Chains A and B, each alone.
Chain A
Amino acid sequence: MQFARASLLSPSLMHETEESNLVAKSKIGEAEAFAKLVECYRDRIVNLAFQLLGNKDDAEDAAQETFLLAFEHLSDFRSEAQFSTWLYRIAINTCKMKLRQRKPVEPLPDDYELFEGVNWHEVEERILKKWQVDKVLARLPENLRLILVLREMHELSYDEIAQVLSIPIGTVRSRLFEARKKFAQIWQELFG
Chain B
Amino acid sequence: MQCKKAQKLLSLWLDGMLAEKDEQVLLAHLQNCENCRKVWHQWEQMRAMLRSYPSITPSPNFDRKVLSRLKTPKAPSSPIPSHWLTNPAFRLTSSAIGGLVVMGLTLLMLMLPVQEQTKPSEQMHHWQWRVLGREVVQWLDFELRGEPKWQGGSSSSSSLLPSRSSRC
Contact = CB atoms under 8 A, between A and B. Distances in A.
A46 B46 contact: no
Nearest to A5: B55
Contacts of A148: 50
B137 to A, nearest CB: 72
Contacts of A2: 56-57
Contact of A47 (B47, B56, B59): B56
A154 to B, nearest CB: 10
A47 B55 contact: yes
Interface residues of B, number: 30
Majority SS at the chain B contact face: helix
Contacts of B53: 51, 129-130, 133, 153
Interface stretch (A33-41, A83-91, A92-100): A33-41
Nearest to B47: A152
B42 A184 contact: yes
A178 to B, nearest CB: 9
B69 A68 contact: yes
Interface of B: 7-8, 11-12, 15, 17, 39, 42-43, 46-47, 49-59, 62-63, 65-67, 69-71
Given A46-B56, A63-B58, A187-B42, 5 more contacts: A1-B54, A3-B55, A126-B54, A149-B50, A173-B12
Interface of A: 1-6, 8, 31, 34-35, 38-39, 42-43, 46-47, 50-51, 56, 59-60, 63-64, 67-68, 71, 126-127, 129-130, 132-133, 148-149, 151-153, 158, 173-174, 176-177, 180-181, 183-184, 187
